[in-house]
Amino acid sequence: MKDNKTNKKKTKGKTSKRKKKKSRKGKGWTRFILFLIIGLCVVSLVLFCSRKKIEDTFVRWTLRHEEPFVPNKYVFDDALFIGNVKNNQPDGPGIMQLEGGAVLAGTWKEGKKEGIFRESDAKHKTTFTLWENDVCIGKSKTLKKIRKGKNLYDKKAKFGVDLSKYQPEYWGAMTICANNSGTLSADLNVEQWIPIDFVIMKATEGKTIIDRLYQYHSEMADILDIPQGAYHVISYKSDVYDQVELYLKQIQEVNLEFPPILDIEGSTKEISSEQFQEYEPIYLEWLEKVERFTGRRPLVYCCYDFYMAYGRKSRLNQYDFWIASYGSNEFPASCRLRQITDRGRVAGWNANVDIDVLLYNK
């Protein structure tokens, strides 16, 4: 009998312990859920209060992917050289700023000048010379004659390039290669060149992207006294005001001879008529805001079929155009600039470059 009583007592003790364990487990889950709710509330509050900071952080993070290019600069005999150096000698395309304000731009091979060079004196008078093994063999006399080629434009036309981060970093003589018949050439070994009269640079895209070579291209254009322009690639996902603000912030620090430029990428294959109806207010808002802030009427860049299908039949037609067309199409009076190829070559650059023609001045 005693044994039975003791057994009962033991079983009672066990059941009470089990109840305590169950109650502890219940309290643990309650605490976990409570802490989870509090944690979510805190996180939501932080996100709500610091949304602007998070957006700014995101903008800075995206801009870090387009870190501005910082060129190599060296001093040789009191002359500042901007370009690459090998064995303590200039090697490759570069620009040398001499004492007194003169500038020498071209290509060096192991410290020796080779090929065509652009020379500017202190009064910004520019001449072009030919060099072999660091010896000047005379002035280039074919530069102006090349403008009279049948497949180019009349002698009043001006030729230029449009540049972005995809072009080579260091500038040289900035002359376009052409062959003896007066047409553009992809052969870098020709003996005829067209001087680059202007450069148009990509400045910004959307509301966060600043082209990494923009400031550098602008600085080199200033050194060589080449007129410059800057364009913005429109984004349909970003607020227009933010895009305008980013673009204006970049162009206010440089000397632009060309008016502001809106770059509309895509042909009728990428942009349907329905999409154009949706995008047209975005284009117009950007153009109107930029014109209001700068006091200058912008240009619109697009391809030829986009212009023919949409540009000339819409409210965009109140603006002048920069049209990309590599064929023999005729152009309206509103076409101020024409991009004639995306496979041009520039002396000293081993890469394709967009070539443009300024059809007339206003």
What distances in angstroms separate CA 44 from CA 30, 49, 58, 174, 206, one per listed residue?
21, 9, 18, 55, 29
Please tell me which of 38-47, 312-321, 343-352 the model is most confident about, judged by mean pLDDT.
Answer: 312-321
Type of residue numbered 59 = V
pLDDT of amino acid 147: 44
**Contact of 304 with 319, CB cutoff 8 Å:** no
With a CB cutoff of 8 Å and minimum separation 6, the contacts of 201 are 162, 163, 164, 211, 213, 214, 217, 218, 221, 228, 229, 230, 231
With a CB cutoff of 8 Å and minimum separation 6, the contacts of 358 are 157, 158, 159, 160, 197, 198, 336, 337
pLDDT of amino acid 53: 46
**Chain segment 213-259, per-residue pLDDT in tens:** 999 999 999 999 999 999 999 999 999 999 999 999 999 888 899 99
Q: Is the pLDDT of residue 68 over 60?
A: yes
Torsion-angle region of residue 136: left (phi > 0), alpha (psi -120 to 50) or beta?
A: beta
**Chain segment 265-298, per-residue pLDDT in tens:** 999 999 999 999 999 999 999 999 999 999 999 9
pLDDT of amino acid 8: 46
pLDDT of amino acid 261: 98
| pTM (whole model) above 0.75 | yes
Q: How confident is the model at residue 180 (pLDDT cuts 50, 70, 90)?
A: low
Go through the domains of the chain in sequence order and give each one's CATH number. Answer: 71-141 (no CATH), 150-358 (3.20.20.80)
Average pLDDT over the chain, rounded to an integer: 82
